Amino acid sequence: MVKSKFSLLFVVFISIAITSCSDDDSVQNTVLNVSDIEGNWSLFQINSTPVVDLEGDANTNPNIMAQTDCFNGMSLNFGTNGVLTVVSSEITFDSNADPSFDCSLRTDVGSYSISGNDLTVTIPISGNQEIQTVVIDVQNNNILSFTLTESQVAQFFSVPSGESFSTITELEFVYEKF
């Protein structure tokens, strides 16, 4: 059995530039303010490239949240006091099970700060304090997204070879403010 933690959300946000858009998507603001991200954000899409059949049931929707309820309930809360709460899925792989993975939600609490164009997140992961620069896109003040590249997916998600989703080269996580 192999364990992979989607809750290590902030570990996977390595080396992407922060961008914030105004209400007019054609105008780009290069400085992200705390007010741009404060509040509660609920995950509503995880888009996969290439499209995969996550559960082996011929459902190949690019939004893997349409294929499984494994990621339902994932959220981010950026508090006004610099406290960050992350609710995410912890995935356990078992090639003898059908489907070959099981999910459970977990909550991690850390802190965040913004300096210029950088959002820095400090969060305890498996007993270690992880400090990462988070790269996000904020659109229309209510959509927050980030994309993981193939190397980031491989680095942070220990997906056993032979799984349909071991071919993923890019994952886009999209949150909506509520």
pLDDT in tens, 19-35: 233 334 433 445 778 88
Query: What DSSP character marks residue 63?
Result: B
Residue with the bigger pLDDT between 82 and 163: it is 82
- Domain count for the chain, please give it: 1
- Residue range 133-150: average pLDDT? 82
Q: Which residues of 120-142 are buried (b: 16+ CB within 10 A; e: fewer)?
A: ebebebeeeeeebbbbbbbeeee
The pLDDT, as a whole number, for residue 1 is 46
pLDDT tens-digit series, residues 75-108:
999 998 999 999 988 877 776 766 667 789 999 9
Element containing residue 36 per DSSP (H, E): helix 34-37
Mean pLDDT of the chain: 76
Could you tell me the pLDDT band of residue 55, with boundaries at 50, 70 and 90? Answer: confident
Residue with the bigger pLDDT between 62 and 13: it is 62
Range of the domain at 51: 2-177
The pLDDT, as a whole number, for residue 13 is 37
User: What's 151's domain CATH number?
Assistant: 2.40.128
Could you tell me the pLDDT band of residue 2, with boundaries at 50, 70 and 90? Answer: very low
The pLDDT, as a whole number, for residue 164 is 60
The model's pTM: 0.76
Output phi, psi for 16, to 5 deg: -120, 145
Could you tell me the pLDDT band of residue 115, with boundaries at 50, 70 and 90? Answer: confident
- Residue range 40-62: average pLDDT? 89
Cβ(41)–Cβ(144) under 8 Å?
yes
- Residue range 104-114: average pLDDT? 91
